Chain A
Amino acid sequence: MTALIEIQHLCKRFGASKVVDDLTFQVDRGEVLGFLGPNGAGKSTTMKMVTGFLTPTSGTVCIGGQSITEKPLQSRRQIGYLPEGAPLYADMTPAALLDFVAGIRGLRGETKRQRIADVVSRIQLGDVLNQRIDTLSKGFKRRVGLAQAILHDPQVLILDEPTDGLDPNQKQEVRSLIQEMASDKAIVISTHILEEVEAVCSRALIIANGKLVADGTPQELEARSRYHNAVSLQLSAEQAPLAAARLPQLDWIDSCQTLDNRTLLIFPEGGQSVIRAVAQLATTEGWQVEQIYQQGGKLDDVFRDLTDTAGARS
């Protein structure tokens, strides 16, 4: 059983600049892959190659075992794609657009009517179905784009910034929609909203300057943060300086940072979990703890580290 999306040594060059540089990864059924990277890192270019819009300079993309360059039509049939910015025919109504896409997707008659009705109710497009698309709000446009992508119930779903421009409620709706569909599909979403990755993705890739710099579950990536297992400790204003002096002397503590005059951030040696030890120490020293918690790590911190260093290297 091969993965639904298989990408091998994918490269794209525009003139002299290498936009995508030797990307290799796979996405299996049931996975939601978050594609992360700063603007201009090559996320959209990669997605355009995966969906067959752009021809790779070198490397291969296989969708369901078929090469997208050798069997373009067969592989495109298995893909649902929301391009960057959700471009749509502005003169058409959502009803006409969905009918057009459904027709091209080979849906006919009653099946077509049924599928369109399903998707419209699922994405809640009923109210705007007969309005011209250029009169719709950004949120509705994005939803129409999403609707046309899932119309034929594709195995592979590629969504380029699916929640961009949506309000918090709409974002939540789109995320739950993605999660609902995740079990029998391979889904790739690109985003620069890191909380989204934590919310919906089972795996995240970070790319910078076209190169893959990290690949793992959101938790694994967070663990690479220097904030991973750091303990935040809030004491009274008198005791905080004492603790700040005492803590770094312990060998299981790497360093200690004073955030404001009452809160300390304690970085453990080697990333181990030290919250119990800190709590015990506080009791023996007689510190009055007002708040204590352990941080999971910050994805944006990992993101910054990885993408910045990659930027400096090239």
Chain B
Amino acid sequence: MNTLGIIIKRELAGYFLTPVAYVFIVIFLFLNGIFTFYLGGFFDSGYASLQPFFEFHPFLYLFLMPAVAMRLWAEERKSGTIELLMTLPVSLWQAVVGKFLAAWLFTAVAVALTFPMWITVSYLGDPDHGVIAAGYLGSLLMAGSYLAIGACISAVTKNQVIAFVVSVMICFLLLITGFPSTLEVFTGWMPDLLVETLRSFSFLTHFDAITRGVVEIKDMVFFLSMILFWLYANAVVVELKKAG
């Protein structure tokens, strides 16, 4: 295994060394169920689709992803192990990307465990499997973007609670810019181009497009560049703040 692989393995094992992973997965599945069946009206809709399931992911992830990411760097800085890590023959990029990928993989495991939903909907009707696959892809890409933000903010502070709250705040802002009601506030007095730009920075806009089954390059590029941007910022922050 190469260095990146070893870092991912350690971080991933780190989630499962404490009850955090199990608690997280149980709550994630539980909330998914509630949202889908009660708030989403899965059965009432009468359609064989997972639309009600994916619809709530942006809001579910808003709180759960910062919780997954908050320990990544804050804990290293607080306990001083960052000095151990960054004096091993590990490049800054390997550390940043390794930690992020471990968090993303962990999330992917949790998301994969929602497979009974897919089975249920296939059993009850004849859903478009392509759309569902697209939904999972969109959901993972969005989770990755939330995690990249969380990882970056986690490097700014030694305090995991602060990391969590600030990350939720930033993710929230990036979410609500896509709400019709938010956009309405700006429409009229702001140039249309700016409103459109604002809208295009929202997770919601791009996520909705993918979950409808329309996998367009521009939405993929949006999430991937979001991830890359925040990982780059993460590396810069680690380099600047590791001494403090």
Contacts and interface: CB of A to CB of B under 8 A. Distances in A.
A83 B17 contact: no
Interface in B191-230: none
B83 A77 contact: no
Contacts of A85: 80
A53 B242 contact: yes
Contacts of A87: 79-81, 83-84
Interface stretch (B39-47, B88-96, B121-129, B180-188): B88-96
A53 B90 contact: no
A100 B80 contact: no
A90 B71 CA distance: 13
A103 B6 contact: yes
Contacts of A79: 87
B87 A103 contact: no
A273 to B, nearest CB: 47
Contacts of A84: 80, 83
B95 to A, nearest CB: 10
Contacts of B13: 96
Contact of A54 (B6, B84, B88, B243): B243
B87 A53 contact: yes
A73 B83 contact: no
A51 B18 contact: no
A115 interface: no
Nearest to A100: B10
Contacts of B243: 14, 48, 53-54
Contacts of B83: 48, 53, 83-84, 87
A293 interface: no
Nearest to A78: B89
Given A54-B243, A87-B81, A76 B18 contact: no
Contacts of A96: 13
Interface of A: 14, 48, 51-54, 72-74, 76-77, 79, 81, 83-85, 87-92, 96, 100-101, 103-106, 148
Given A89-B14, A89-B79, A105-B88, 18 more contacts: A14-B243, A51-B87, A53-B83, A83-B80, A83-B83, A84-B83, A87-B83, A87-B84, A89-B81, A89-B84, A96-B13, A100-B10, A101-B88, A103-B6, A104-B88, A104-B89, A104-B90, A105-B89
